[in-house]
Amino acid sequence: MKRPFLGVTIFTVVIVLLFVYIGEVLTKVSGEAVKGAGHGVSAVGATPEAGEAIFWRKGACYTCHSVGRRGSSIRAPNLGESGPLNMPIGARAALRAQERTKQGRPMAATDYLVESLAEPGAYVVEGFKNEMPLVWKPPIALQPDEIKAVVTYLQSQGGTVDAAGIDKSPFLQKLKAAAATAAAEVAEAWKPYMPGDPKLGQEIFFSPESPVGCGKCHATKEKGGDVGPELTHVAATRTPQFILQAILEPSKEIASGFDSILIQTKDGRLITGIVKKEDVASITVADSQGQLQKIPKAEIAERVPQKTSLMPENFGEILTVKDLHDLLAFLMTLK
Amino acid sequence: MNLLNRRFRAAFPCTAFLLFTLLPLAFAAQPPVEADYRGFFGFDSRLVVWIVAELHLMYGAFVLGVPIFAVIVEYIGKKSRDPKYDNLAREFTKLLAAAFSTTASLGGLLAFSLFGLYPKFMGYLTGVFHKSYYVYALLFFAEGFTLYLYYYSWDRLQGRWKWLHITLGILLNVWGTLLMLIANSWASFMMSPSGIDKETGRFLGSTWAAVANPLWIPLAIHRFLGNVAFGGLIAGAYAAVKFLGAKTEVEKAHYDWMGYVGNFVAIAALIPMPFAGYYLGREVYSASPVMGNNMMGGAFSWTFILQAILIGALFIGANYYLWIGMGRIAGAERYGKYIKYINLILLVCFAIWLTPHNLPLSAAEQLAIGGQYHPILKWLGLMSAKNAVVNFIILSTFFSFLLYRRGNKGKPLPFREHGATAKVVLLAVGVVCLGFLGAYAGHLFTLDPASLDLSPDKARYFKFPGLLLLIQIGAVFAALALTFVDRGIHGQALLFAVTAASAVFALGVYGFVVMEKANPFLRHIAVSQFLLVIACLLANTFIDIFLFKGAGEIGGIRWGKMPVRSQYTLVLLCVTIVMLMGLMGYIRSGLRENWHVYGIMQDVSDTSYTPTMAYMARVVGSIVLVFLASIAFVFWLAGLGEGKAPALAPSGEGAEKVQRGRTK
């Protein structure tokens, strides 16, 4: 190779390597490395934790709203104390509801929050534009339970979490009805291979002798574990195909707030689980058996988000076709 | 060029024509259906399409960008009767002809990959766009024939036939631009679909409605300018490598000049690029606030830090090359004292441009700086600060170019010696500036706050930018008046000073007030800044043309007398713009997130997630290396059939004959 061309080649490779290096550095600096893939995330558990995960990821709420000092968006009102009226949104909602009532649309604080997500154009905070998208429509396409989770998260910002109140909100009822209609249309077009027996399915779900033992991690109507999402109303919002896929390929879509992490301690131990509690000093994770482990942060060497679910991936091998259909039949009764 | 090579090149357009006409037939009949995927011999399908599409895009940018300035250079050669321009245009076209067949091959490979790996999605897209495929194929055919006709008829169509040859060049650009517009419509449809039922995705029957989607033209303008800059810098790097390997002074002089023209073309296209980028970004936001927010405040916001670094390297590199070039111009040393200030401005501006608004901080780090944001840097990370510095960068680069241009110029002639034409042209420029500045000022003074969801009292925030636009009109006419009385340089300085004070400092600071008090009005501040700067660029360019028309020369330009580092700067610029194109391709495509067609057809493949910047940088870096290696190989192939005759000096006598001898 001629000398000038060789020099140019080396120079070019060095510039490209520098570009790659900057990409690596920005990934670390921006915190992008710990976010992981975020599209396949949905929520079943309507808790403030799940709502927080949706707010800062799938729902993309953070691209317009900050919450106090968290986030940097200014396009829409800050939902923390530094927002309008100098109140966090949980507390602010009560005053807004009074304002809405005076405007001729009587509502409680919870209704105001649900309305903000279901019909964002109905009330626009002064100084801001009417530009919030309908989050229950594509491209964000939140499910009613996910909206419920976000509302509980907003309530937790200086207000009282009132999950029952959210369920009663006419705005959510309307959304649920629309979602159920859409799900029914899809379900109608899909038929299982064979009919299932819900009673046998319930046994498979809860029995300690069952090879799968879903109840160890999932609860239905206050019975069962809390490692995985609660499934009390799963059939109301999910199609049979989705539920079947969640059983056979649990990592394909992981519910918000139920992503697992791998923790390596300084003494070399590896712990995989779902974060149940975290404060400045420690982190508590639930493992696949539902056991809680509290790990002091000072002992953690590395913490890596996992793309796989904590739920075992081998149910397709353990369950017979008949068991699978019985289990599905039971889950479809949970509305 | 031998016959085999010609046949080889001509075969590609034919193959591609067949490809583009036959494939749609297989898919056109299929109704829009749910997505389905195939693997690629165990490799990640997304990665395969990413690499092939990016390579095709890069070759396409070169093939579409180069003819634009090749034909302009040829036209200048015709008007000036200077053979150096004609030879340069021919050399640019030689590179073009060599790269064309590779572009076509990659286009075919891309089509195969997409139809093979994403069959259902392509079935849907074909269902919507199949009519445009045929037009595309025909245009591609026309482009191929016109290109080879343009290149191979160069010697034949000289003298009185030169106009016919230039017409062929223009035709080549027309076909190329139409091709780009059609291909852009497919890509922009995927981002902002139109002409379909938004609930079901069903095609409503009008291909034009799908083509004319909201992002079609903004994307086309951005890409058009990007292609010109890309073509200029690739040609510049080609010249740099040739310069470094040149054996004679004549060759060095020729390739030095070619590199300069490449860089000049790139700067000319780069200067309006931020405005085109802003327009595109604004339209992305208008088409989908979710996508817009994700771009500037969500998952993609950090990619714009990387973009700022690359654009910073481009502007600083292009300026640096101009400053080195002033070393070969006798008389340019008079302006050397300004360079350090321009450099300082550029560096400070880029530091501000790439300042992020906030960083993910630990509790301890937050305590150390007193919160989530740094007390000073938080202001620099906001859009208002960034808009201000981008305008300052453009003004500084333009100023740099004016210094270069007048490097060897002596005292200007009295203005009256330019005759009435000069006055008419400058007054026309003034009227144009008056038109667009006045129209926008009028718009701001009468803007209804309710249209921005603002209360009536917020209208007071619209007055200040309107007033600055009116002041700019005054500054433009003052500069023209000074030019008429032989004080053109003072007029230019006045216009620069007023523009910098208004667009950079006044509106830069005022933007923060607007963000706080009337946020929805912020986009009008950006448009005002853009108009102020454009008026300055336009008026000062024409003043400069007449100011130094016929002025005496202090000394000549010593072409070829450039240090090695100047040529490495051209290489740096080339690599940077290729990386930038790779990055922007990633951002544009990635903004759709987990949608093939945004909001209509979901991507449910295993790779429907946004990769990290580290992964993106590795992929884009690899693509850049493959592209540069392959285009170097293509250029080497193109030169195989040529003799070893020396290249022409920019003003070499009898040079045309030598050049003809080389290419016969």
Query: Which tens digit of pLDDT belongs to each residue from B426-448?
Result: 999 999 999 999 999 999 999 99
d(CA A37, CA A54): 13
A116, A132: one domain: yes
The encoded tokens of residue A228 equal 């995985």
Contacts of B289 in chain A (CB under 8 A): 64, 131-133
Question: Is pLDDT of B389 > 90?
Answer: yes
The alpha carbon of residue A314 is apart from the nearest alpha carbon of chain B, in Å, by 19
Domain boundary among A187, A210, A244: A187
A80, A146: one domain: yes
Least reliable range by pLDDT among A42-51, B85-94, B217-226: A42-51
* Cβ contact B93:B75 at 8 Å: no
Minimal Cβ distance to A15: which of B298, B518, B572: B572
Question: Is pLDDT of B8 > 50?
Answer: no
A145, A218: one domain: no
End-to-end CA separation in angstroms for chain A: 72
Question: Is pLDDT of B642 > 80?
Answer: no
The amino acid at A126: E
CATH code at position A265: 2.30.30.100
In Å, how far are A35, A49, B272, B429, B657 from A28, measured between CA atoms?
A: 11, 25, 33, 50, 59
Whole-number pLDDT of residue B659: 40
Q: Give the 3-state secondary structure of residue B408.
A: coil
A70, A140: one domain: yes
What's the number of domains chain A is made of?
A: 3
CB contact set of B210 (below 8 Å; sequence gap of 6+) = B128, B129, B185, B189, B193, B194, B195, B196, B203
| Mean pLDDT, range B508-523, rounded to an integer | 89
> Phi, psi (5° rounding) for residue A293?
-130, 130
Domain boundary among A142, A164, A187: A187
The per-residue DSSP string of B62-104 comes to HHHHHHHHHHHHHHHHHHHT-HHHHHHHHHHHHHHHHHHHHHH
Q: Give the 3-state secondary structure of residue A220.
A: strand
Whole-number pLDDT of residue B2: 43
Whole-number pLDDT of residue B95: 86
CB contact set of B1 (below 8 Å; sequence gap of 6+) = B152, B641, B663
In Å, how far are A332, B475, B506 from A323, measured between CA atoms?
A: 14, 83, 72
In terms of Cα–Cα distance, which of B617, B51, B574 is closest to B321?
Answer: B574
Sign of CA dihedral A4, A10, A13, A18: negative
Q: Do A8 and B609 touch (CB under 8 A)?
A: no
Bigger pLDDT: A278 or B132?
A: B132
Contacts for B629-634: CB closer than 8 Å, 24+ residues apart: B630/B55, B630/B102, B631/B59, B631/B62, B631/B99, B631/B102, B631/B234, B632/B241, B634/B98, B634/B99, B634/B102
Sign of CA dihedral B609, B615, B620, B623: negative
Asked whether residue A95 is domain-assigned, the answer is: yes
Asked whether residue A60 is domain-assigned, the answer is: yes
pLDDT > 90 fraction of chain B, expressed in percent and rounded: 63
| Mean pLDDT, range A242-253, rounded to an integer | 84
Least reliable range by pLDDT among B71-85, B562-576, B649-663: B649-663
Minimal Cβ distance to B360: which of A31, A74, A126: A31
Bigger pLDDT: B242 or A37?
A: B242
Domain boundary among A141, A164, A187: A187
H or E stretch at A224:
strand A223-224
The encoded tokens of residue A330 equal 């039971």
CA atoms within 13 A on the CB side of A199: 0
Asked whether residue A134 is domain-assigned, the answer is: yes
Name the band, by pLDDT with cuts 50, 70 and 90, for residue A183.
low
Q: How many CB atoms neighbour CB B340 within 10 A?
A: 10
In Å, how far are B55, B201, B208 from B196, measured between CA atoms?
A: 30, 6, 11
Name the band, by pLDDT with cuts 50, 70 and 90, for residue A11.
very high
d(CA B52, CA B112): 10
d(CA B306, CA B583): 8
Minimal Cβ distance to A70: which of B372, B576, B613: B372
A173, A300: one domain: no
Asked whether residue A300 is domain-assigned, the answer is: yes
Q: Do B575 and A26 touch (CB under 8 A)?
A: no
In terms of Cα–Cα distance, which of B271, B276, B241 is closest to B255?
Answer: B241
Sign of CA dihedral B187, B192, B198, B203: negative
Bigger pLDDT: A88 or B644?
A: A88
Whole-number pLDDT of residue A141: 84
Q: Do B621 and A26 touch (CB under 8 A)?
A: no
Q: Which domain holds residue A178?
A: 41-187
Whole-number pLDDT of residue B289: 84
Sign of CA dihedral B510, B513, B518, B523: positive
Maximum average pLDDT range among A28-37, A71-80, B3-12, B123-132:
B123-132
Whole-number pLDDT of residue B649: 52
Name the band, by pLDDT with cuts 50, 70 and 90, for residue B564.
very high
Name the band, by pLDDT with cuts 50, 70 and 90, for residue B654.
very low
- Give the gyration radius of chain B's Cα atoms: 26
d(CA B198, CA B601): 10
Question: Is pLDDT of A40 > 60?
Answer: no
Q: Could you say which residues from 285 to 324 on chain B have a Cβ atom under 8 Å away from some Cβ of chain A? A: 288-291, 293-294, 297-299, 302, 305-306, 309-310
Question: Is pLDDT of B646 > 60?
Answer: no
End-to-end CA separation in angstroms for chain B: 7
Q: Do B519 and A128 touch (CB under 8 A)?
A: yes
Question: Is pLDDT of B29 > 60?
Answer: no
The encoded tokens of residue B411 equal 């005292």
How confident is the model over B476-491, as pLDDT tens digits? 999 999 999 999 999 9
Least reliable range by pLDDT among B22-31, B226-235, B578-587: B22-31
In terms of Cα–Cα distance, which of A142, A137, A105 is closest to A122?
Answer: A105
| Mean pLDDT, range B14-31, rounded to an integer | 52
The mean pLDDT of chain A is 83
d(CA A64, CA A61): 6
d(CA B323, CA B73): 23
| Mean pLDDT, range B39-55, rounded to an integer | 93
Whole-number pLDDT of residue B118: 93
Bigger pLDDT: A136 or B299?
A: A136
Q: Could you say which residues from 274 to 293 on chain A have a Cβ atom under 8 Å away from some Cβ of chain B? A: 280
A176, A46: one domain: yes
| Mean pLDDT, range B561-575, rounded to an integer | 96
Least reliable range by pLDDT among A234-238, A305-309, B282-286, B544-548: A234-238
Asked whether residue A45 is domain-assigned, the answer is: yes
Whole-number pLDDT of residue B557: 87
* Cβ contact A238:A229 at 8 Å: no
DSSP lists the bridge partners of residue A305 as A261
Whole-number pLDDT of residue A189: 61
A172, A297: one domain: no
| Mean pLDDT, range A7-21, rounded to an integer | 96
Asked whether residue A284 is domain-assigned, the answer is: yes
The encoded tokens of residue A138 equal 């594509």
Whole-number pLDDT of residue B4: 39
Minimal Cβ distance to B290: which of A24, A60, A62: A60
Asked whether residue A148 is domain-assigned, the answer is: yes
Minimal Cβ distance to B245: which of A2, A72, A131: A2
How confident is the model over A202-224, as pLDDT tens digits? 888 888 888 788 888 888 876 88
In Å, how far are A138, A146, B114, B128, B173 from B202, measured between CA atoms?
A: 15, 28, 21, 9, 35
How confident is the model over A268-322, as pLDDT tens digits? 888 888 887 777 788 888 877 777 888 888 888 888 878 788 888 888 888 888 8
Asked whether residue A22 is domain-assigned, the answer is: no
Contacts of B524 in chain A (CB under 8 A): none
| Mean pLDDT, range B509-536, rounded to an integer | 92
CATH code at position A88: 1.10.760.10
d(CA B187, CA B210): 11
A174, A126: one domain: yes
The DSSP 8-state label assigned to residue A273 in this structure reads E
Whole-number pLDDT of residue B151: 92
Whole-number pLDDT of residue A180: 75
Name the band, by pLDDT with cuts 50, 70 and 90, for residue B15.
low
Q: Is A324 exposed, middle or buried (0-12, 13-18, 19+ CB in 10 A)?
A: buried
d(CA B527, CA B538): 16
* E strand segments, B541-637: 595-597, 601-602
Is B621 an 8 Å CB contact of chain A?
A: yes
pLDDT > 70 fraction of chain B, expressed in percent and rounded: 89
Bigger pLDDT: A253 or A55?
A: A55
Minimal Cβ distance to B617: which of A22, A70, A124: A22
A181, A48: one domain: yes
A126, A228: one domain: no
d(CA B346, CA B352): 10
Whole-number pLDDT of residue B452: 86
The mean pLDDT of chain B is 87
Whole-number pLDDT of residue B23: 55
Question: Is pLDDT of A70 > 90?
Answer: no
The alpha carbon of residue B638 is apart from the nearest alpha carbon of chain A, in Å, by 17
CB contact set of B650 (below 8 Å; sequence gap of 6+) = B84, B253, B254, B257, B559
The per-residue DSSP string of B584-609 comes to HHHHHHHTTTTEEETTTEE--STT-S
A152, A59: one domain: yes
Whole-number pLDDT of residue B1: 38
Question: Is pLDDT of B83 > 60?
Answer: yes
Is A16 an 8 Å CB contact of chain B?
A: yes
Q: Could you say which residues from 147 to 206 on chain B have a Cβ atom under 8 Å away from some Cβ of chain A? A: none
Whole-number pLDDT of residue A291: 77
| Mean pLDDT, range B279-307, rounded to an integer | 87
Q: How many CB atoms neighbour CB A105 within 10 A?
A: 14
A241, A300: one domain: no
How confident is the model over B327-368, as pLDDT tens digits? 999 889 889 889 989 999 999 999 998 887 666 666 666 667
Question: Is pLDDT of B19 > 70?
Answer: no
